[in-house]
């Protein structure tokens, strides 16, 4: 209730409100050329009554396949972390939809919890996000209700890397091999070694592989992976406004190699937040008991860190940023 009161106040200060009582939700399959369709989840304002429904290991209160409320709505596309799924930031998507946005999250084929067969083909992710934007603006059932001039993107971990590329960033993956020679104990480098990956894979990046989407005007990035691969030149093409989040106790992607170089090398200083006592996976919603037993490494926070309370404030700040940047 506190979150909804604050979101309502924000709408009153920044933009004309969308008078929608609840959030609608739909899962869609997006045709993707010669490849299998992409799976995506879409959250949007609706006046239809919402009820609790299961979403993977979570429960969300939504109206399934309901009619949309409002016109000229802003769109935020969302990119999950490595080995994730479109539902990975469902609470942020719900907060955005309550505030009058349409939030659409794609499952990145080849880098999901059940298929990591192409996890190092990082160029596939921005292309899939670009396809999601195309689908939302041209093919989605309610596409005529969207405002193509008001598009933002949200990304966590590998998703943070993804939205940076989508917004104009060009990474140099040849930096990964020398980085891992110096930092073999990093989770990234240990995982690559255990998988038997030849770190010279960067030589196989296809020409023109990095797909950009100039329609994206604002970015929220949390704990971006591969931040050290960009540099000032690689980020010089990112002109979107950025809100950047860092976990102060990120042991998965330790400082100062991931979010710090992004902060330092963006052409325009981002709105920067450091979350005290937070770990890398605290940017994911609180787990239920079943998932906590299955995946304690992503569910357990440091003693004294209240993930639920953090997400309430995090979602308020994310919504505030997008309301200001996509007026």
Token pair recorded at residue 237:
């093409």
CA dist 126 and 166 (Å) reads 5
Residue 181 lies in a domain: no
Q: Which residue's structure tokens are 């899962």?
A: 27
CA dist 4 and 196 (Å) reads 48
pLDDT, position 2 = 52
Name the phi and psi angles at 131, rounded to 5. Answer: -65, -35
Residue 199 lies in a domain: no
pLDDT, position 281 = 97
Across the chain, the runs of DSSP E, i.e. the strands, are 22-32, 35-46, 51-55, 58-64, 73-79, 102-106, 146-156, 216-222, 241-247, 271-275
Quote the domain boundaries for residue 54: 2-171+210-325
Strand order of the sheet with strand 271-275?
A: 51-55, 58-64, 22-32, 35-46, 102-106, 73-79, 146-156, 216-222, 241-247, 271-275
Residue 219 lies in a domain: yes
CA dist 134 and 36 (Å) reads 17
pLDDT, position 80 = 97
Token pair recorded at residue 134:
């195309």
The series of mean pLDDT values per 10 residues for the chain, 327 residues long, is 48 46 95 96 97 93 96 98 94 97 96 84 95 98 98 97 98 92 87 76 80 98 96 97 98 93 98 98 93 90 96 98 97
Maximum distance among all alpha carbons in the chain?
55
Token pair recorded at residue 313:
């404030």
Among candidate residues 119, 115, 30, 24, the one with its CA nearest the CA of residue 68: 24
Q: How many domains does the chain have?
A: 1
pLDDT, position 247 = 98
Q: Find the CATH number of the domain harbouring 294.
A: 3.40.50.1820
pLDDT, position 20 = 63
CA dist 318 and 326 (Å) reads 12
Residue 191 lies in a domain: no
Residue 203 lies in a domain: no
Are the C-beta atoms of residues 74 and 81 closer than 8 Å to each other? no
Token pair recorded at residue 196:
């038997």
Residue 22 lies in a domain: yes
CA dist 249 and 289 (Å) reads 24
Residue 243 lies in a domain: yes
- The model scores a pTM over 0.95: no
Are the C-beta atoms of residues 270 and 240 closer than 8 Å to each other? no
Residue 240 lies in a domain: yes
């Amino acid at each position: 209730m506190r979150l909804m009161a604050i979101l309502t106040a924000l709408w009153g200060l920044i933009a004309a409100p969308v008078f929608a009582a609840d959030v609608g939700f739909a899962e869609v399959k997006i045709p993707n050329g010669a490849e299998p369709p992409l799976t995506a989840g879409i959250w949007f304002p609706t006046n239809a009554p919402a009820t609790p429904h299961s979403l993977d290991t979570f429960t969300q209160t939504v109206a399934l396949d309901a009619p949309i409320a409002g016109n000229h709505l802003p769109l935020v596309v969302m990119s999950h972390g490595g080995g994730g799924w479109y539902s990975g930031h469902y609470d942020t998507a719900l907060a955005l939809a309550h505030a009058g946005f349409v939030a659409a999250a794609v499952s990145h084929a080849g880098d999901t919890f059940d298929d990591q067969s192409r996890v190092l083909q990082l160029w596939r992710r921005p292309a899939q996000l670009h396809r999601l934007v195309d689908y939302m603006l041209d093919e989605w059932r309610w596409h005529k209700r969207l405002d193509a001039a008001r598009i933002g993107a949200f990304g966590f971990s590998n998703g943070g890397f993804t939205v940076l590329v989508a917004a104009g960033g060009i990474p140099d993956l040849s930096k990964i091999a020398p980085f891992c020679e110096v930092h073999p104990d990093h989770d990234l480098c240990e995982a690559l070694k255990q998988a038997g990956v030849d770190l010279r894979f960067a030589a196989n990046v296809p020409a023109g592989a990095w797909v950009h989407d100039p329609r994206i005007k604002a970015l929220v990035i949390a704990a971006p992976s591969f931040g050290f691969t960009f540099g000032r030149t690689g980020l010089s093409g990112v002109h979107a406004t950025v809100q950047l989040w860092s976990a102060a106790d990120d042991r998965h992607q330790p400082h100062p190699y991931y979010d710090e170089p992004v902060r330092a090398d963006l052409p325009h200083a981002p709105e920067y937040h450091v979350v005290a006592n937070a770990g890398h996976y605290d940017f994911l919603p609180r787990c239920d008991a079943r998932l906590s037993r299955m995946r304690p490494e992503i569910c357990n926070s440091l003693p004294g860190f209240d993930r639920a309370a953090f997400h309430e404030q995090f979602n308020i700040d994310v919504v505030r940023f997008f309301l200001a940047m996509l007026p």
